[in-house]
Structure formats: C-alpha cells, structure tokens
A and B are shown apart, each in its own frame.
Chain A
Amino acid sequence: MTDCKIYIAIVEHSYIICEGLSNILLKSDHHSQVFRFESLQELSEFPGREKLNMVIINPSFAISDRKDFFALRKSLKNAKWLGLIYSYFDKKIIELFDDTIEISYDPSDIKKIISKISKEDWPCLEEDQVEELSEREKDVLIELVNGFSNKEIAEKLNISTHTVASHRKNITSKIGVKSLAGLTIYSITKGIISLEDL
C-alpha cells in the first residue's frame, strides 16, 4: 500500500516563487509534502527522489542542463513533470513537459491541474487507505510470529516463497512494523494470536 501523500519537488531559483507555490500546494485539498531544490544536481542527490509524484520545474533548467534533465526525467519516470512558466519559452521546450503551471494562474487553477493529474495516476487518493490485513496476510503473520521462516511458511500454506516475501512486505507497509517482536505485539493487540498460542 503506497501512502497517499503527494510528494512534490519544486526546482526553481527564485525563493519567492518557490515559497508562494509551495504555500498554494500545501493548502490544496491533497495531502502533500513539498521539497525545494535549487538545481537538478541537488534533486538527483535527494534520497527520497524515488517517492516523488510530481516535479514542478522551471524550463530553463531543461535548457541549461539538458543532459541532466533528460537523465533525471528518465530515472524518475513515475513522476509527472510540470513546467513552471513565467517567461517566454519555445514551443519545443514546453512540449517536454506533461503539463504547465503559469505564473498568471489563480490558486484554484493550480489545484485543478493537481487534481486532474492525481485522478489519472494516484487512485489511492480516491479511496481511504486500508490498514486492515487481508486473511492471507493474517495467515502469514501468524506463522511469522510463531517463528517460521519464509520457506517453511511457503510449504505450510502451499504458496511460493516469493509470495510469502510479498505478503511480508505488504504487512510491513500496512502496519508500519517489521521486527518479529513488533509484529508479535501487533498480533496480540489485534487479537490475531493470543499469548497462549506462542
């Protein structure tokens, strides 16, 4: 389960523009976290870049650091790239972006663009985030807490070890707990196992 926050990078030299845009984004209906970068290099070194859903960027970076721009665009392929337009750019440059935000836009226009994009790409925004484990995940959890290895669980439940690993991953991302001790506490709290079972 991905979490439903939108992670947005703004790549822009002007602090004023960046802060203004960031305030509009933070006050929109979506839950978002905004990061500011002053160069493409800074963005390429950002440890959380894989998580980014959206990169709002001044097209001048695409002109001055053409190579870096295309490399980053390619590596962050899950993110939508929006041009932040406040001066004249050639049509060919504008076409490099999925969409544009113009400086003359009203905050409501910006929200509309975000909504449009998020509807297409982040379905989780429309439904509540599910924390509840599926029955199969609970089965795996019980075996885990009882100390069985992935391989043993796979044999017991007649599924592949790969599937066990993927259930484990989903359990952890749903409940935010990974260690055996933590999973045990969780299982007891939720009544999935009782202490006597252990």
Chain B
Amino acid sequence: MYLTKKTYIKPDMKLGGLFFENPYLLLMMEHFNLDFVVNDKTIEKVCQESSINSNIFVDIANLYNGFNDLDAKKYTKTDILTIVNFLKNSHNYYKEEKYPEIQSLINKILKLNETREIKLISKFFGEYFNEVIDHLDYEDQVAFPYFLNLLEDGRNIPKGKDYSAKIYSDHHTDIETKLMELKTLLLRHIPLGKDRSLRRRLIISLFELDYDLNIHYLIEESALTPLIEKIENGFKK
C-alpha cells in the first residue's frame, strides 16, 4: 500500500542525497548519534563505519519516508543496543528540545492572545506532556535497564520485572489521542486572534512531535519488543 511518493530506501543508496528529499532524516541521524555530513558515502558504508546493522538502519530510515517494513526477524540480539540508544536519544529530543519549544510557543501565544481557551490549552498540553514524561521515565528507569541487563547476563535478572509491552501500547494510544485533540482544537475550534503565525508554528511543531513519537512507537512495538521476547523465551526453555 502506498500513500507516499518518497524514495523507498535501500542500503546501496547514497545517504546524503536522501536528506534533500526528507530533512527529517537528519533527526533520525541524531537519534542514531551520527553526523549527517557524510560526503558520498552509501548507507552500507556509513553503517559499517559505525557498527550499525544496515537492516535496522534502512528500516528505520524507511519509517521516516513513510514505509513500514520493520520485521524483527531481520535483526539480531546485538541490535538491541542500537535500538535502545536510538530510543534514548529520541527521549532527549522530546524532553530537551521539542517540549521546551512547544511550551515557549504556547507562552508566546498567551502573551498575544490571553484568552481562557489558550490558558486551558496550555494546561492541557502541560498535563499531556507530564504523561509523556512519565512514560519516558518509565522506559529510561525500568524498561531499558532491564533490556540491557538481559543482554549482558540473562541469568541474574529478575523475571519480566514491571516491564510490559501492553502498558506501552495503552500509554501510546492515550498519548496519540491527546495530541490529536490538541491539533483539532487549534485547527478547527479555537478562533484565531493575533496569534496566526505563532499558532502555525505551534501546530507544525505538534505535527513534528507526533511524527517522531509515532516512529518511536513502531520501533518499540515491531522491533524491540519481539527481540526482547525472543530472549526471554530463550531463558524459559
């Protein structure tokens, strides 16, 4: 099924060229902790130099281009580290960059258009983001350490701990719904005052957050969780 006209990415493609088509791949590079000025290197070469499995790299890059080809069968146990680092870096991006950016836009709008609605939007976003932070903290403090422990020495780990893929999925649905509502309220219902340009920036910023959170969720759901379950099942036997 195709809804996008973006390039379907393959390992022998030159990475640099793809950024011209979809600049959000730069964000992906940051999540991988890689530099994006890569001269003429192919994806394969870049992955080789940084010891990343090109299968996982290509599949994640394709997510950014609108194709979901994630398939845990293509990845190995050692890729868990790559994935966890990627997700951790995205957490930093949400916490350190995206949230403050959105909050500061809301504050600026409040200065121009101090209405009840915008005040409530500010509150709504605050509550929404606290939920996101709770979830990110849960991953940073419970889920990820558990995964890494599992990789290092599976015998010493407490069983399954509090980690549950189901919890993540519920959180995610809730987070999605709230973000969608925020966009709906700002786009369809709350009248514009002098905040037109600021609100446009705010809405675009919300879409960017949504876009990245969505990819984040897919990676957890279709790549990380199955890999973890495979290891856990291996220990049970």
Among A3-57, those with CB < 8 Å from B are: 35-37, 42, 46
Q: Is A162 close to B, CB under 8 A?
A: no
Number of A-B contacts (CB under 8 A): 53
Q: Is A190 close to B, CB under 8 A?
A: yes
Q: Is A87 close to B, CB under 8 A?
A: no
Chain A residues lying within 8 Å of B127, measured Cβ to Cβ, are 181
SS class of chain B's interface: helix, strand, loop or mixed? helix
CA distance A190 to B177 in the complex (A): 21
- Least Cβ distance of A53 to chain B in Å? 17
> Are A179 and B177 touching (Cβ within 8 A)?
yes
Chain B residues lying within 8 Å of A186, measured Cβ to Cβ, are 185, 189
CA distance A19 to B133 in the complex (A): 43
Q: Is A182 close to B, CB under 8 A?
A: yes
Among B101-160, those with CB < 8 Å from A are: 116-117, 120-121, 123-124, 127
Q: How large is the interface on B (under 10, 10 to 19, 20 to 34, 35 or more residues)?
A: 20 to 34
Question: Contact check: which of B2, B3, B117, B191 meets A185 at CB < 8 Å?
Answer: B117
> Are A182 and B181 touching (Cβ within 8 A)?
yes
Known contacts A36-B2, A181-B124, A185-B121, A175 near B189 by CB under 8 Å: yes
Q: Is A184 close to B, CB under 8 A?
A: yes
CA distance A178 to B2 in the complex (A): 30
> Are B189 and A190 touching (Cβ within 8 A)?
yes
Q: Is B10 close to A, CB under 8 A?
A: no
The interface centre, meaning the residue of B117, B123, B189 with most chain A CB atoms within 10 A of its CB, is B189
CA distance A186 to B177 in the complex (A): 15
Known contacts A185-B121, A195-B116, A176 near B188 by CB under 8 Å: yes
**Which B residues lie at the A interface, using CB under 8 A?**
1-3, 116-117, 120-121, 123-124, 127, 177-178, 180-182, 184-185, 188-191
